[in-house]
Amino acid sequence: MGLGIKDRNRIAKRAAAEISNGMLVNLGIGIPSLVPNHLTHDHDVMFHAENGLVGMGSAPDKGKEDASLCNAGGQPITIRAGASYCDSTVAFGMIRRGLVDITILGALQVSVAGDLANWIVPGSRVPGMGGAMELAAKAKKVIVLMEHCDKKGISKIVDSCTLPLTAKKCVHMIITELGVFSITKTGLLLTDIFAACSLNEIRFKTEASFTVSDNIHILQE
């Protein structure tokens, strides 16, 4: 069924709190594309797109889309003052040199070790892995935004990924509609719970085992 817009924006808002002024940030399609909407208008963050743009703004108002402006997923975007265009080779050069501070991606599965599977379900038709492989391997911090369970109610936070991997041991943080996990050297650590959820619900819906932070945060609407 998928998440409603309220849950999607709640996740995006929490992800936005990880971003600091001066950062270069890459956003995946789906929930990550909502993140710029939750930064202040005067922020000093440059959003990077693999198709050759640094300086994406928030999503355009309906009816004000520019057919010449889109992100790597083909979604309409706006640009900020100071934005610049380049070809895809230069955009990927920024990634491969480790210049991207944070990449915020969707996922099909994430393991306790931080392995990422986010590009294909076997038997499904997809356009390809895209830039996720480079971003997962080279960004300084990898944050995954996703629904906690798949359409069948099966946990997407797993002991070991059963889907083809995008990259190994690359994810630093997972944010779902239930809470926030950090991936540490000793395993999964639950750091935040959304106020509408409970610890028992998170344990029931999470395949992988995890520990709970001594200073857990309760996130309000």
Better-scored residue on pLDDT, 212 or 75: 212
Tokens 């265009």 belong to: 85
208 within some domain: no
206 within some domain: no
State the SS3 of 15-62: HHCCCCCCCEEEECCCHHHHHHHHCCCCCCCEEEECCCEEEECCCCCC
CATH number at residue 121: 3.40.1080.10
- pLDDT tens digit string along 139-150? 999 999 999 999
Cα gap 92→110, rounded to integer Å = 24
Please, which residues bridge with residue 183 across strands? 188
Q: Which two tokens stand for residue 102?
A: 């944070």
Domain that holds residue 81: 5-154+161-178
52 within some domain: yes
- pLDDT tens digit string along 46-58? 999 999 999 988 7
78 within some domain: yes
220 within some domain: no
Cα gap 112→60, rounded to integer Å = 37
**Mean of the pLDDT values across residues 175-182?**
98
- pLDDT tens digit string along 5-41? 999 999 999 999 999 999 999 998 889 988 988 988 8
Count of domains for the chain: 1
196 within some domain: no
216 within some domain: no
SS3 136: helix
74 within some domain: yes
Residue 157's contacts (CB-CB under 8 Å, 6 or more residues apart) are: 109, 110, 112, 148, 174, 176, 181, 188, 206, 207, 208
Active centre residues (catalytic):
50
**What sign for the dihedral angle of Cα 79, 84, 88, 93?**
negative
Alpha-carbon torsion, ordered 39, 19, 138, 88, to 10 deg? 20
- What is the value of pTM for the model shown? 0.93
**pLDDT class of 126 with cuts at 50, 70, 90:** low
Q: What average pLDDT does the structure give for the chain?
A: 93
Cα gap 100→74, rounded to integer Å = 21
- In percent, the amount of the chain with pLDDT more than 70 equals 97
